[in-house]
Amino acid sequence: MCLPGIFIVTLLTLSIPAVHGGKVLVYPQDGSHWINMKVIIEALHSRGHSVSVVRPSDSWYIKETSPHYSSITIDIPGGADEEFFSSFVSRQIQIQREGKSAWTRFSLDMELKDRFSEMHRRVCEMVIQMLENKQLMQSIRETKYDLVLTDPANGGGVVLAHYLNVPLVFNVRWTIHGEAHFAIAPSPLSYVPFPVAELTDNMSFFQRVRNFLVYVIRQHLYKQTVGPHYSALVSRYFGPEVDYFSLFQAADLWLMRVDFVFEFPRPTMPNVIYMGGFQCKPAKALPQDLEEFVHSSGEHGVIIMSLGTLVAQLPRDLTDELAAAFAQLPQKVIWRHKGDRPTTLGNNTLLVDWMPQNDLLGHPKTRLFVAHGGTNGVQEAIYHGVPIVGLPLIFDQPDNLHKMKARGAAKILDIFTISRDIFLQALQEVLNEPSYRMNMQRLSRLHRDVPMEPLDTALFWIEFVMRHKGAAHLRTESYRMPWYSYHSVDVMVFLLAVVLLIMLTTVAIIRCLCFRMCSRQKIKHE
Amino acid sequence: MCLPGIFIVTLLTLSIPAVHGGKVLVYPQDGSHWINMKVIIEALHSRGHSVSVVRPSDSWYIKETSPHYSSITIDIPGGADEEFFSSFVSRQIQIQREGKSAWTRFSLDMELKDRFSEMHRRVCEMVIQMLENKQLMQSIRETKYDLVLTDPANGGGVVLAHYLNVPLVFNVRWTIHGEAHFAIAPSPLSYVPFPVAELTDNMSFFQRVRNFLVYVIRQHLYKQTVGPHYSALVSRYFGPEVDYFSLFQAADLWLMRVDFVFEFPRPTMPNVIYMGGFQCKPAKALPQDLEEFVHSSGEHGVIIMSLGTLVAQLPRDLTDELAAAFAQLPQKVIWRHKGDRPTTLGNNTLLVDWMPQNDLLGHPKTRLFVAHGGTNGVQEAIYHGVPIVGLPLIFDQPDNLHKMKARGAAKILDIFTISRDIFLQALQEVLNEPSYRMNMQRLSRLHRDVPMEPLDTALFWIEFVMRHKGAAHLRTESYRMPWYSYHSVDVMVFLLAVVLLIMLTTVAIIRCLCFRMCSRQKIKHE
C-alpha cells in the first residue's frame, strides 16, 4: 500500500530550461536500464529538445547534473538497489558453487522477489510524493511537456503520464508484468517462447507444456509482487475501477530494445517500433596501451571477458579456474576483473578495471567475447559479429544467451559448476569451429541491414508523437475488452445457443406434429 | 481440376536481358492490380534490376513489350475478364435500380463466384503449361532469378516460386483466401473487422457476431471456390501431403498495400512491410485546358468524379440524377464519363474520357472527390487530403469507403437508390461541413509523416531479400502447426488430465486410508 504524507518531499532541483524544440519528461528505471535511456536522452538533447529526468536523490546511476537534461530529484529513503543486487549475485554464485541446499536457494529467490516488491513500493511512494507536491505539479503542468518517456520496468512514468494527460512513449523491453510484447501483442504460447523459459520458436510438446507453465506461474508471480502497490496508487488517483495494467497498455509507442535478429519472429503491433542495438556504434580507436596489447596478439587475436556491472567479485576458486583456462590459450585475453588477482593468471591475460567494450568488440583482432549475457552486451556482440562464450548469472541473461545459442553463435556454460577444463574446451570450440563466427557475422549483417539506424528510427517516432500529439491511430484499444469478448467466447456461446434453440424448436415442432398426427389416427381408429 | 497437356503452349516471347543487378520474376494479377505492380516493376528497372513478367497472351492490361520488363507470354484461351466484370457491374446496377427479385441478385452473385473459380482454374492451367514446358523452365532456371514477386490474389507466382525454390515476395492486399493479414497474423475477430463486413475496430456485440459469421462464411466460400484448383496443382507437383495455402504462408515478405491510416490497428508480423500509398506522388501541372477550367472555378473550387475503370457505362436515369445534382452547385465538376451525355448536364460540368486523377486530386482548388472506393483512388485521396463522397459498386469498395467514413472523411451513398436530392445533399454536406476536409487532411498528414517513402521502403526490402537470399529470420513457421497445437489446446488438455489424475489419485488414496481405518476400527469394535 502506498500511503500519502508519511514521506518528506524535498525538491532538490527543478530547473526546466527554455530550449527550442520539444519538451520531454523522462521517468527512467535505475541501474543498467539507465544506460539505454541515457543514449536516447543525449540524442534528444542533440536535436534541440529539452529533457527533464525524474530521479530519486540516492540514484545509483542517474546523476543530478548533466549537460543533457535537467533533474527533478525526489528525496526518498531506502534505495541502494545496486549494493543489494551486486551482493545478491555474489551470494548466489557462492551458494550454488558450494552446493548448498535447495532451501537456501529458494530463500535467496524469495529475497529477490521481496526486493522487487520493495523497489515497486518505492516507485509508488515517489509518484505519490510528486503528485502531492502542488508546487512541483504546477511547475510540471506549466512546462507543457509534449510527452512522457519512460521505461515501464517500473510504473512511475505510466501513472505520471496518465495524471498529466500527456502522450506516453516507452523505451522498453520489460513491463512490470514481464516481457513487453506479452502486454500488448497476441502471443501464442505454442511458438512464442516466454522469456526466461530458455526456449526457441520451435518447441516439442513438452517444451510447449513448460512454456505454458512458466508463463502462467510468472504472470501470477508478477501480479502478486507488483500488483498491490500499483493497484493502490492507481485506485487512489484514478478510482478503483481503473486497472493499473491498462494504463501501461494504453501507451502511444513502444520503442522496443530488440529486433528480429535477437528475438524470434512473433506477432507484433503497429505501435511497436524496433530499435534493438540502438546503443551500438562503430568502434573508435583504442587507447595506445590497449591497442599495443591487442596488436601483440598477432594472428591469434584477443578474447575479451566482462560479466557486466552487477558482479562485484567472483569467488577466488572460480577466478582461478577461469584464469587457468585462459593461460593455456595462444590468444591474448582482456578481462574486466574486480577483486584479487587469480593465482593461475597467465602472461597472456590483462586484468582491467574498466574496458572500452564497444571499441574492443569492434576491433578486427577480437575473436571471442566471454559474457554474462546482459542485453546490451549481446546486442553489441551481434553488431560487431563476435561469437560468445556465455556465463549467465541472473535475470534474463540465460535466456538472452539461449537466443544466440539457438542461432549457433554462442556456447553457454554453467558458471556454478565450471572447471578449467570445461571452460578451456568451450573457448577452443568457439575459437576453432568456424560456424560460431560465421553465424554471428550473418546475424551482424542482418542486424545492420536496415533502412534507417535504430536510434534515428526511435527519434523519428518520438518526434512523430510530438508532432501529432500521440499515435492513437496505431494503437488498438482491445485491452479494454473483457477476456471472453476479446477471444469471442461470448459470440461463440451466443451462436451455439442460437443453433441449439433452432434445433430444439425443430424437434419440438416435429414432435408436436407427430403427436397430432398420432392423435388423429387414434381418433380415426376409435 | 487442372489437367496437363490439353492446352497448346505457344511461347510468344522469352527474352531475359542480362542487366546488372538483381533478377526478378514477376507473376502479376491482371486488371487494376497490375497498375500497382507496374509501379514497383518500373522502380526496380530504374534501379538496374532486370524484370521478367509472366502474362497470358490475351492480358487486358499487361502489355507484351515494355521498356521496363521482358515478357514470358503464355498462350491460353478464355480470358477477357475485363469485359465480364465491366458488364457485370453494369448489370448489377441495372438490376438493383430496377428492384429485381432477390433471386436475380443471387444468381448474379453465383455468376461472380463462378467467374472467380474460372479465373483461378485458368491460372492453374497457365502454371501447368509453364512447368510442363521443359525449354521454358530450363531457361528460367538458367536465369537464376533472385526472387519471385507476385500478387497472391492468384496462386501462380506462389507455386512457381516453390517449384523453382526461389525466395517469394508478395505485393499484396488479398490472397486467394481474402484479406492478407488473416493469412499470417493473429486476427482476433473481436476487434479486427473482416474486410467486406463494413465494420470498424470498435464493435458492438451484434457487430461482433456479424464479423464472426461473415468471416466463417467467407472462408468457407473462398476454400470452395479456389481450393480444388490449387489443391490439384500443388498435389501434382509437390505431393498430396502439401497444403496449398501453406505455400502462401511461407512467403518471405508481404509488401502490404495499406498502412494504419487506411487500416484499423491490428496485430501484424515481422515480415509484413507496409507500403500503403506507394503509388501516390505529388501532383504535376495540369494540361492547359484543364488548368483553365479548374482555375475558372474561383473560390468555390472543383469536384472531381470517377468511378474507376470497371464501369463501362452507367444507366441513363442514374447519370441524369447525378448530373442534375452537380448542375445545382457553384463548384466546377470534372467527371470521367463514358456513354451518352446526360440530359440534365449543367454548364459547370466537364465530361472527360480520362483524367490525370492524381494531378487533379493534388490541385489546390480540388474540394471533393466523388469515387467508387477502389483502394488506389482512396489512397490517392488520403495522400492529397481530399474528402470523399462514395458511390461503392463491388468487391472491397464499400469496405474501403467505410474505413474513411469511420474517420469522418467520407460520406457513402447507395448508388442503386440514389436520387438527385440525396446526392446534392451529400455533396453539400461534405463541401460545407469543415470536419470532412479537416479529418482527411489529418489522415494525409499522418500518412505522409513516415521516415521513408513507401515505395523506397518496398524497394529496400525487395533488395534485402536479394542480398540475404530470403528473410527467414522474419518469418514464423507457426502455420505448419495443427490448429490444436497452435492454440495450445493439446497442452491445456494434457495439463487438465494431469490435474485430474492427481486429484483422482488423492481421492483414491484418502478413500483407501479411510477404508482401512474404518476396517481397523470395525475389527477393534468386534
Domains A11-186+242-278+453-480 and A288-448 share a fold: yes
The predicted structure's pLDDT at residue A10: 27
Check: CB of residue B51 under 8 Å from CB of residue B45. yes
The predicted structure's pLDDT at residue A417: 87
- CATH 3.40.50.2000: does it fit domain B11-79+123-278+453-480? yes
Banded model confidence at residue B10, pLDDT cuts 50, 70, 90:
very low
Nearest CB neighbour to B185, from listed A212, A267, A464 = A267
- Mean pLDDT throughout A292-319? 88
Q: Å from B194 to nearest chain A CA?
A: 14
Q: Is A420 exposed, middle or buried (0-12, 13-18, 19+ CB in 10 A)?
A: middle
Check: CB of residue A232 under 8 Å from CB of residue A1. yes
- Mean pLDDT throughout A331-345? 93
The predicted structure's pLDDT at residue B87: 77
Nearest CB neighbour to A188, from listed B186, B456, B490 = B186
ipTM of this predicted structure: 0.91
Question: Which residue of chain A comes nearest to B261, CA vs CA?
Answer: A473
- Cell 533478377, located at residue: B23
From residue B520, alpha-carbon distances to B506, B516, B525 in Å are: 21, 6, 8
Render pLDDT for A195-235 as a digit per residue (tens, 0 to 9).
888 899 999 999 999 999 999 999 999 999 899 999 999 99
Banded model confidence at residue B80, pLDDT cuts 50, 70, 90:
low
Cα–Cα distance measured from residue A129 to residue B512, given in angstroms and rounded to the nearest whole number:
60
Render pLDDT for A119-136 as a digit per residue (tens, 0 to 9).
999 999 999 999 999 999
Q: Is the pLDDT of residue B11 over 50?
A: no
CB atoms inside a 10 Å sphere around CB B185: 20
Q: Is the pLDDT of residue B19 over 50?
A: no
Express the helix, strand and coil content of chain B in percent, nearest 5 each: 50, 15, 35
Identify the three-state secondary structure at position B9.
coil
Question: Which residue of chain B comes nearest to A204, CA vs CA?
Answer: B485
The predicted structure's pLDDT at residue B79: 63
The predicted structure's pLDDT at residue A526: 61
Interface test with B, best of A213, A217, A478 (most B CBs within 10 A): A478
Banded model confidence at residue A100, pLDDT cuts 50, 70, 90:
confident
> Which residues, including other chains, have CB under 8 Å from residue A63's CB and lie 6 or more apart?
none
Residue A185 cell numbers, joined: 501483442
- Mean pLDDT throughout B455-483? 94
From residue A124, alpha-carbon distances to A231, A271, B260, B469 in Å are: 10, 27, 35, 50
Render pLDDT for B20-73 as a digit per residue (tens, 0 to 9).
589 999 999 988 899 999 999 999 999 999 999 999 998 878 999 999 999 999
- What residues of chain A lie within 8 A of the CB of B452, using their CB? 451-452
Among the listed residues B402, B192, B110, the one whose alpha carbon sits nearest the alpha carbon of residue A481: B192
Banded model confidence at residue B312, pLDDT cuts 50, 70, 90:
low
Among the listed residues A310, A416, A396, the one whose alpha carbon sits nearest the alpha carbon of residue A93: A416
Share of chain B above pLDDT 70, in %: 94
Residue B302 cell numbers, joined: 472543383
Q: Is the pLDDT of residue A20 over 60?
A: no
Higher pLDDT, A152 or A416: A152
Among the listed residues A470, A468, A488, A486, the one whose alpha carbon sits nearest the alpha carbon of residue A478: A486
Segment holding A77, helix H or strand E: none
Domain A288-448 falls in which CATH fold? Rossmann fold (3.40.50)
Check: CB of residue A38 under 8 Å from CB of residue A59. no
Q: Å from B430 to nearest chain A CA?
A: 23
Cα–Cα distance measured from residue B423 to residue B303, given in angstroms and rounded to the nearest whole number:
13
The predicted structure's pLDDT at residue A79: 62
Residue ranges covered by each domain of chain B = 11-79+123-278+453-480, 288-448, 483-515
Question: Which residue of chain A comes nearest to B216, CA vs CA?
Answer: A492
CB atoms inside a 10 Å sphere around CB A294: 20
Among the listed residues A134, A166, A149, A138, the one whose alpha carbon sits nearest the alpha carbon of residue A4: A134
Secondary structure (H, E, C), A350-363: EEECCCCHHHHHCC
- Mean pLDDT throughout B432-438? 97
Q: Is the pLDDT of residue A519 over 90?
A: no
Contact B265 A464 (CB under 8 A): no
Banded model confidence at residue B489, pLDDT cuts 50, 70, 90:
very high
CB pairs under 8 A between A and B: 143
Among the listed residues B3, B501, B5, B8, the one whose alpha carbon sits nearest the alpha carbon of residue B232: B3
Alpha carbon B214 to chain centroid, angstroms: 17
Q: Å from A195 to nearest chain B CA?
A: 17
What are the residues facing B333 on neighbouring strands?
A: B303, B349
Among the listed residues B247, B198, B244, the one whose alpha carbon sits nearest the alpha carbon of residue B223: B244
- Mean pLDDT throughout B125-133? 95
Banded model confidence at residue B112, pLDDT cuts 50, 70, 90:
confident
The predicted structure's pLDDT at residue B316: 87
The predicted structure's pLDDT at residue B78: 63
> How, if at all, do strands B272-274 and B302-306 pair?
unpaired
Least confident stretch, B3-7, B60-64, B434-438: B3-7
**DSSP state at residue B298:** G
- What residues of chain A lie within 8 A of the CB of B193, using their CB? none
Q: Is the pLDDT of residue B191 over 50?
A: yes
Contact A265 B485 (CB under 8 A): no
Cα–Cα distance measured from residue A267 to residue B39, given in angstroms and rounded to the nearest whole number:
29
Cα–Cα distance measured from residue A337 to residue A305, given in angstroms and rounded to the nearest whole number:
9
Q: Å from A201 to nearest chain B CA?
A: 8
Q: Is the pLDDT of residue B14 over 50?
A: no
The predicted structure's pLDDT at residue B522: 73
Alpha carbon A454 to chain centroid, angstroms: 17
Q: Is the pLDDT of residue A16 over 80?
A: no
Contact B208 A488 (CB under 8 A): yes
Among the listed residues B271, B257, B504, the one whose alpha carbon sits nearest the alpha carbon of residue B376: B257
Instruction: Place domain A11-186+242-278+453-480 in its CATH homologous superfamily.
Output: Glycogen Phosphorylase B; (3.40.50.2000)
Q: Is the pLDDT of residue B3 over 70?
A: no
**Average pLDDT, rounded, for chain B:** 90
- Mean pLDDT throughout A54-71? 93
**Average pLDDT, rounded, for chain A:** 90
Q: Is the pLDDT of residue A6 over 70?
A: no
Cα–Cα distance measured from residue A281 to residue B347, given in angstroms and rounded to the nearest whole number:
65
Render pLDDT for A158-206 as a digit per residue (tens, 0 to 9).
999 999 999 999 999 999 999 999 999 999 999 999 988 889 999 999 9
Higher pLDDT, B238 or B526: B238
